[in-house]
Amino acid sequence: MSLPKSYQQNFSPQEINFLAEQELVTVIPRYSMNGAQLIGAKMPKLRALNREQIPLWLATLLKKQEKCNIVVPEWLSVEYLRVRYDEEIKYPSKFSNLPWHWLPIAKKLLDYASDDFIDPPHEIRSLLQDLREVRLVKARKGIRELNHVYIQLDGLSLMEINEIRPFILEVMDQLRKMNDSLKVKAEEEMPRQAAAQMDRDEDSDDDIYQKE
Amino acid sequence: MSYYDIDDILADSQKLPCKFSITIPGLGYLNGEPGCPIKENVRLELPIWLAEILAICSISNSSDYEENDEYRETTFLKLLEPEFFSPVFLNFIKSDALRLNLNPYMFYYRIVTKWSNMFGDAELVELISKALVDRASELNDLSFKLNDHFRGGNLEFMNNLDSYEKQLFKNSHKSYKDLKIWWLKKPN
C-alpha cells in the first residue's frame, strides 16, 4: 500500500472530523428553502423558523451563508459540562459519558456558530479543554496497566481512542509476540504429552476388559 | 515476523555466544582461521539465524548407535547464556527498568522473542513484558510533553531506547501532535 503506515492503522484527526460531520443537528432556518436529495444525506424542505434536523456539515454551510441558526445541543452547556467535569474528578477510574464525537462537534460549533451559544463560548471552550486534559491524563495512566490480551476503554470517544491507538496497539502487539513465543515451545511439547495421555487411556480400557 | 520485515532480518543477524560440542573439519573460517578445523569446546559468537539452526539440528553417531545399542544424540553447538540474559542483567531490569540501556542491543524485544521461541522461558518473558510496560508508559509521557526531553534523566532515557521503542516514540508523538494541531486550527 502506498499510504504511510501510520495512516493504514489509524485515522487522522481530519478523517474523524469528517465522520463527525455526518451527525445530525437541529437548525432553525431563517428562510424557506426547497429540499434537495444529496449523495448520502437528504436535505428536507426547510420552512422559516421551523426546526429541522440536518447533518452538521450542511448546517455549518448554511450558517456560513447566514441562512439558519444552529440549536446548540444540550450537552454543550456550562452546566452539563461542569457536572461531567466533577464526575471525572470524583471517579478517578471511570470516564464520564459524553457523545461519541464530542470533540469534533464542539470544535465545529464553537468555530462556526459561536453566536448561537446560550452560555458564553469562551467558558465552554475552557471547560472542554479541562475535560479533555483530565480524561487524557486518565487514559495515559491506564497505560501502566497494559497487558497482552485485554484493554477496556469505556466512555472514551473516537477522537480520544484514536489519539492513543498507535501507541497502545504497538505495545500490546509486542507483548503478544513475546507471550506467543512461549506457546510455540509449549505446542512442541504437547504431542509428547498427548501421546503419553493416549497410552494411559488405553491402559484403563484394558483394565475394564479384564474385569469383564 | 514477516518475510519482508527488514528489522526482523537485522534482528536475526545479532550475535549469540555459543560453544561447539564437536570438532568440525574445515569450519575454521568462522573463527578467523580459514582451512583449519573448528575444535570442540571453542567459544564463538554466531548470528542468531546460524546459531539457532546449528543448536537445533541433531546429529547422531551411527557407529555409537550400533555398538552401545543406545541412541546418542548431539547437536553441533550449544547456546550459551548471552550477557543480556544473565542474572546480573535481569536483576538490573528488576530493580529499575527505566535506567536500562537497550541501545547497544538494537532489537532487544525481538531477540527476547526469538530466545523464548527456542527455550520457552516464561519467567524471562514475564519480566521483560513488565519492563516493556514500565518503559513504554514513561515513553508515552515523554512523547506527550514536547519540552521535557532534555530535563534530568530524560535525555539519558531517550538515548537508551532500542529501535522498537524509538519507532514507538515517533508514532505516539506524531499522533499527539496531529490532534493538537487539529484542535488549535482556526477556521478559515
What span, in angstroms and rounded, lies between the C-alpha atoms of B80 and B49? 15
Secondary structure class of B111 (helix, strand, coil): helix
**Are B11 and B104 contained in the same domain?**
no
Mutation target for A interface from B182, B184, B185, B186: give the one with most A CBs within 10 A: B182
**Are B115 and B145 contained in the same domain?**
yes
Tell me which of B59 and A174 has the higher pLDDT: A174
**Are B102 and B134 contained in the same domain?**
yes
Beta bridge partners of A37: A42
The range of the structural domain enclosing residue B166 comes to: 85-188
**Are B114 and B37 contained in the same domain?**
no
3-state helix, strand, coil in chain B (%, to 5): 55, 10, 30
Q: Does A1 touch chain B (CB under 8 A)?
A: no
**Are B113 and B188 contained in the same domain?**
yes
pLDDT at residue A18 greater than cutoff 50? yes
Confidence band (pLDDT; 50, 70, 90) for B179? very high
**Are B20 and B113 contained in the same domain?**
no
Confidence band (pLDDT; 50, 70, 90) for A78? very high
Ranges A89-98, B48-57, B142-151: which has the least confidence:
B142-151
Nearest partner of B112 among B174, B175, B162, judged by Cα:
B162
Specify the pTM. 0.82
Domain boundary among B80, B115, B131: B80
**Are B56 and B32 contained in the same domain?**
yes
Sole residue written with cell 539519558:
B156
**Are B169 and B94 contained in the same domain?**
yes
Burial class (CB in 10 A: 0-12, 13-18, 19+), B32: exposed
pLDDT in tens, A131-143: 999 999 888 888 8
**Are B74 and B92 contained in the same domain?**
no
Output the pLDDT for position B23: 83
**Are B58 and B108 contained in the same domain?**
no
* Residue type at position A136: L
**Are B72 and B141 contained in the same domain?**
no
Sole residue written with cell 450558517:
A63
Of A45-59, B70-84, B94-108, the range with the highest mean pLDDT is A45-59
ipTM: 0.84
Domain boundary among B31, B58, B80: B80
**What value does the mean pLDDT of chain B take?**
83
**Cβ contact, residue pair B118, A185, below 8 Å:** yes
User: Is the CB of residue A25 less than 8 Å from the CB of residue A59?
Assistant: yes
Average confidence (pLDDT) over A77-85: 93
User: Is the CB of residue A55 less than 8 Å from the CB of residue A22?
Assistant: yes
Domain boundary among B23, B52, B80: B80
What span, in angstroms and rounded, lies between the C-alpha atoms of A147 and B165? 17
User: Is the CB of residue A81 less than 8 Å from the CB of residue A127?
Assistant: yes
Confidence band (pLDDT; 50, 70, 90) for A185? confident
Sole residue written with cell 473516537:
A158
Using alpha carbons, list the distances in angstroms from residue A138 to A130, A131, A132, A141, B97: 12, 11, 10, 5, 23
Domains identified in chain B, total number: 2
Average confidence (pLDDT) over A161-181: 91
**Are B5 and B68 contained in the same domain?**
yes
CATH number, domain of B73, equals: 1.20.58.2050
> What does the CA dihedral B99, B105, B109, B114 come to, rounded to 10 degrees?
-150
The x, y and z cell numbers of residue B71, run together, are 541412541
In order of start, what are the domains of chain A with their CATH numbers?
5-170 (3.40.5.50)
pLDDT in tens, B58-89: 776 655 544 554 455 678 888 888 888 888 99
Tell me which of A195 and A113 has the higher pLDDT: A113
Confidence band (pLDDT; 50, 70, 90) for A9? confident
Output the pLDDT for position B72: 57
Write out the residues of chain B at the interface with chain A, using a CB-CB cutoff of 8 A: 1, 109, 112-114, 116-122, 125, 128-129, 132-134, 136-137, 140-141, 143-144, 164, 167-168, 171-172, 174-176, 178-179, 181-183, 186-187
The x, y and z cell numbers of residue A110, run together, are 464553537
Output the pLDDT for position B38: 82
What span, in angstroms and rounded, lies between the C-alpha atoms of A109 and A72? 8
CA atoms within a 13 Å half-sphere pointing along the CA-CB vector of A32: 1
